């Protein structure tokens, strides 16, 4: 259930304070930035509403349309904000004043309700748009209980259990696992949250997939293609594929260890699954 509040007309002092702080945040980027059609969500929104004492690294802005996205991107370019990088997910600029990343999300376009529904974690299901605040009651409940809970999984390994376990399919699933584990670690450590049992149950199909992949030895001679950076380019391939996948195995009690065997070129890597976990999961391959 999504709750909606008009912060400008609300009689609650907390809402009025939120609205003032939200406008200050937009103005801290540029005094004209508040004229753009943006939707703020992610860690900056969490900071405003839930954890004002915990700093954040970036602003995540979403958009109702591609035109709104282009208007914002062109505004930052015209104002000569430093361009940092671009991925399939977003384009990133640097805030001139505090050096935080300004991330313009281009994966999808929709209203604030759509943004909230699309988040992987309930904890992120908060958004500001103009003078409006949008949030899910599940989000507030998880923050109260200091739990991290999955809302969505954008990858369904059940679809592949009867497949041929081809290279691209395995690369896609392992890449998703690495990205997800990186985000679980990020939110758990930053906000001192516990990944809850309901979320672990949602991930059970991944455990079944990995165990079947191993039992049939269908991973042998398969290649992993590093087709893209991890989520928001937040981790490089060696870290994501070596550490995060083994941490994911531990999280779900998968009694295997994952290792990568480097090929002669950087286009693909072979990998191995073993029935004993590595003693030191933080050792990266050379």
CA distance 87 to 223: 23
Any idea which residue has 């997910």 for tokens? 89
Q: What pLDDT was estimated at residue 265?
A: 61
Q: What pLDDT was estimated at residue 264?
A: 57
Residues of the chain with pLDDT > 90, as a percent, come to 65
Confidence (pTM):
0.87
Q: Which two tokens stand for residue 42?
A: 């992610």
Using pLDDT thresholds of 50, 70 and 90, give the confidence band for residue 223.
Answer: confident
Backbone angles phi, psi at 193, to 5 degrees: -110, 155
Cβ–Cβ contacts within 10 Å for residue 207, how many? 18
CA distance 284 to 237: 11
Three-state secondary-structure class, residue 159: helix
Point out the least confidently predicted range of 13-27, 52-66, 155-169, 246-260.
Answer: 155-169
Q: What pLDDT was estimated at residue 266?
A: 60
| Per-residue model confidence as pLDDT tens digits over 92-116 | 999 988 999 999 999 999 999 999 9
Q: What share of the chain is helix, strand, coil (3-state, %, to 5)?
A: 45, 20, 35
Cα angle 241-84-191, degrees, rounded to a multiple of 5: 55
What is the arithmetic mean of pLDDT over 169-195? 92
pLDDT for 281 beyond 50:
no
| Per-residue model confidence as pLDDT tens digits over 13-67 | 999 999 999 999 999 999 999 999 999 999 999 999 999 999 999 999 999 999 9
Cβ–Cβ contacts within 10 Å for residue 38, how many? 25
Mind listing the domains of the chain with CATH numbers?
Answer: 2-144 (3.30.460.10), 157-274 (no CATH)
pLDDT for 133 beyond 90:
yes
Residue 274's DSSP bridge partners are 257
Q: Would strands 90-94 and 82-86 be described as parallel, antiparallel, or unpaired?
A: antiparallel
Q: In degrees to the nearest 10, what's the CA dihedral of 114, 126, 195, 146?
A: -160
Sign of the four-CA dihedral 279, 176, 202, 145: positive
Which has the closest alpha carbon to 269: 155, 171, 125, 144? 171
Query: Where does residue 216 rank: exposed (0-12), middle (13-18), buried (19+ CB within 10 A)?
Result: exposed
What is the arithmetic mean of pLDDT over 244-268? 82
Point out the least confidently predicted range of 104-108, 129-133, 214-218.
Answer: 214-218
């Amino acid at each position: 259930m999504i709750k909606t509040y008009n912060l400008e007309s609300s009689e609650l002092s907390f809402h009025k304070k939120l609205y003032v702080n939200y406008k200050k945040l937009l103005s801290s980027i540029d005094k004209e930035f508040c004229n753009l059609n943006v939707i703020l969500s992610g860690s900056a929104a969490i900071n405003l509403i839930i954890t004002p004492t915990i700093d954040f690294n970036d602003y995540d802005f979403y958009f109702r349309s591609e035109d709104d996205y282009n208007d914002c991107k062109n505004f930052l370019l015209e104002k000569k904000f430093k361009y940092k990088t671009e991925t399939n997910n977003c384009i990133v600029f640097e805030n001139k004043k505090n050096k935080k990343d300004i991330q313009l999300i281009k994966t999808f376009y929709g209203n604030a309700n759509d943004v909230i529904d699309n988040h992987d974690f309930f904890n992120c299901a908060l958004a500001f748009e103009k003078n409006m605040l949008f949030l899910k009651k599940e989000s507030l409940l998880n923050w109260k209980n200091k739990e991290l809970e999955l809302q969505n999984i954008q990858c369904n390994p059940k679809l592949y259990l009867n497949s041929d376990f081809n290279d691209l399919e395995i690369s896609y699933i392992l890449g998703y696992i690495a990205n997800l584990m990186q985000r679980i670690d990020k939110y758990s450590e930053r906000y001192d949250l516990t990944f809850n049992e309901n979320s672990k149950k949602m991930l059970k199909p991944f455990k079944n997939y990995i165990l079947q992949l191993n039992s049939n030895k269908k991973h042998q001679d398969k290649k992993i293609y590093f087709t893209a950076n991890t989520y928001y380019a937040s981790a490089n391939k060696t870290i994501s594929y070596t550490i995060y996948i083994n941490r994911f195995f531990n999280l779900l009690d998968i009694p295997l260890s994952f290792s990568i065997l480097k090929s002669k070129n950087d286009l693909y890597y072979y990998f191995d699954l073993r029935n004993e976990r590595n003693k030191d999961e933080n050792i990266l391959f050379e």
